[in-house]
Structures are given as C-alpha cells and as structure tokens.
C-alpha cells in the first residue's frame, strides 16, 4: 500500500499575480513529500487551472482553493473556484487564436482529469472544481478522493465581494 499525504489545501487570492505563489506551493509540497512527479509538469498544470479560475469565474478578486493528495509516484491536484455552474471543456482553437488551450495542456500532462460542481450550503453559490492526476494513478474513485472538499468548501468564500 502506498503512503499518501493529504488531503491538504490552501486558499490563494484570486489575482493573476498569485499564480506564481500557487505554483511554488504545489512544487514545494511535491518535493517535501519526495514525490517523483515532474515539478515542471505540476507547475504548468497549476498555472493553467489557476489562470482559468481567475479569468473565467467569480473568483477573480476573491479566492481560489487548491487541494491535493500526494504519494511517492503521483499526485492529485484540485483547483476550486466560485463558478460558473457550467463545466469547462477543452476547445480546439484556431491556430492563430490566443488562449483556449489551457485544458488541452492539462489533459496532455495528466493521467486523469475531471471536474464537478457543488453548491455552498450557506449561500447556494456554485463551487466549481477541476482536478487532475499526475504520475502513477491510485486505484481509488475520484469521488472518494475529493469527498473531503464537501466539508471544506462550504466554509470558505471564493467569490469576490462586489460593492
């Protein structure tokens, strides 16, 4: 049986400048737990998912939660934002189009990718989660891996407060 570290999570300010802080945090935890996942792959995946959360949801100016499970030869990373309720889908942009490739990059670097939406029990606001597996996957259902988020997400405010 593999020894796992997690679940763990951290909140980040929903601003593009925080992407570097999020990348460094994830790469640091992989190194700290002696995980063999390529740190450059993990950094790129976190960058893409964090950028999507800040650019396309109400977490811009709010908060983004990054969660994890880590083991010797793999990791699951989740990026949680404040919606929208629609699930993201990779699109095949035209060669000259800037942007639109983030989820394709995440899929190419990951052994597993998924997403789900839940709602805050306090406000009814959507909570959108995109997760990916890096390295060697565990033989565990994703729903079991991320069940702890159901306890954490209702306790945090992810959407920016509008004046």
Q: Quick one: what percent of the chain has pLDDT higher than 70?
A: 83
- What structural domains and CATH numbers belong to the chain? 4-91+99-155 (3.30.565.10)
| CA 49/CA 19 separation, integer angstroms | 9
pLDDT, residue 88, reads 62
| CA 48/CA 6 separation, integer angstroms | 22
- Write the DSSP assignment of 76-127 as a string of letters: EEEEEES--SSPP------TT--S--HHHHHHHH-SEEEEEEEE-TTT--EE
> Above 90 in pLDDT, residue 84?
no
**Beta pairing partners, 81:** 128
- Write the DSSP assignment of 9-51 as a string of letters: EEEEESSGGGHHHHHHHHHHHHHHTT--S-HHHHHHHHHHHHH
Pick from 40-44, 72-76, 88-92, 101-105: least confident: 88-92
CB neighbour list of residue 51: distance below 8 Å, 6 or more residues apart: 16, 19, 102
pLDDT, residue 163, reads 38
pLDDT, residue 32, reads 95
**Is 4 within 8 Å of 70 (Cβ atoms)?**
yes
**Beta pairing partners, 65:** 11, 80
Average pLDDT over residues 140-157: 76
Place 115 in a pLDDT band, splitting at 50, 70 and 90.
confident
Place 90 in a pLDDT band, splitting at 50, 70 and 90.
low
């Amino acid at each position: 049986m593999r020894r796992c570290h997690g679940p763990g999570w951290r909140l980040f300010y929903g601003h593009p400048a925080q992407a570097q802080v999020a990348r460094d945090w994830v790469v640091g935890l992989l190194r700290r737990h002696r995980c063999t996942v390529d740190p450059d792959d993990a950094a790129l995946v976190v960058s893409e998912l964090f950028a999507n959360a800040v650019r396309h949801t109400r977490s811009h100016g709010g908060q983004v939660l990054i969660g994890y499970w880590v083991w010797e030869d793999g990791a699951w990373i989740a990026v949680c934002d404040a919606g929208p309720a629609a699930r993201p889908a990779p699109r095949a942009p035209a060669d000259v189009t800037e942007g639109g490739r983030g989820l394709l990059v995440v899929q190419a670097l990951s052994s597993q990718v998924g997403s789900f939406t839940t709602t805050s029990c306090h406000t009814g606001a959507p909570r959108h989660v995109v997760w990916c597996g890096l390295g060697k996957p565990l033989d565990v259902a994703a729903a079991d891996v991320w069940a702890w988020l159901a306890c954490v997400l209702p306790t945090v405010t992810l959407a920016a407060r509008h004046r």
